Structure 1
């Protein structure tokens, strides 16, 4: 009985490790794709990007958040759909200001 329990626990640890590695790799890939989109298609420089991170959650299932170096209090949300990356929303980092003017809003939001 103890041997089966050990094998089961080791299997769970291995499965958890593999899933964690796959998710980490996927997040890095999405971060790199959004950075590539911003640098190549939107003419930003790497120095213009303060923080880029991908989250996996509810709707949309995968969302990459970008904070620009010259606008630290605003977040811009990007997603990939059918090999197309686009900005779908923006929001302040904290609080809400209805009069705030976003500097990096893209002209074609869906």
Structure 2
């Protein structure tokens, strides 16, 4: 293997690792922002949130998939941009009956 090829492979590996690290850091920042929003603004307790995991959506959009302890079969998606967190709308039938749909929360906010 030539020296030029070795340099290329090392540079390529460093680039891949750098991109992977940047994506992981972005996920962690978004997860923390969404969890803080749910706890501090929406008044959820930490144990009410089963999980909050960063995911890549379309466009590409970084979103956070949240599962609540009392509704483990439903996934909610939140987006954080410019310091503001919003719940992304769900597109299934009967979404208005979901426990943690924020459209309903605005009408009946938590204590």
| TM-score, scaled relative to structure 1 | 0.83
| Cross-structure match for 1:7 | 7
Give the drift of 1:53: 1.0
| Cross-structure match for 1:50 | 50
| Cross-structure match for 2:109 | none
- Secondary structure of the 1:89 match is coil
Instruction: Name structure 1 gaps, 5 residues minimum.
Output: none
* Number of aligned residue pairs: 103
Work out which structure has the larger RCO, using CA pairs closer than 8 Å and 6 or more positions apart in sequence: 2
| TM-score, scaled relative to structure 2 | 0.82
| CA RMSD, 1 decimal | 1.9
Give the drift of 1:99: 4.4
Instruction: Name structure 2 gaps, 5 residues minimum.
Output: 107-111
Structure with the higher helix share, 1 or 2 = 2
Structure 1's consecutive aligned runs of 4 or more residues displaced over 6 angstroms after TM superposition are none
| Cross-structure match for 1:104 | 100
| Distance across 1 between alignment mates of 2:60 and 2:90 | 14
Give the drift of 1:57: 3.3
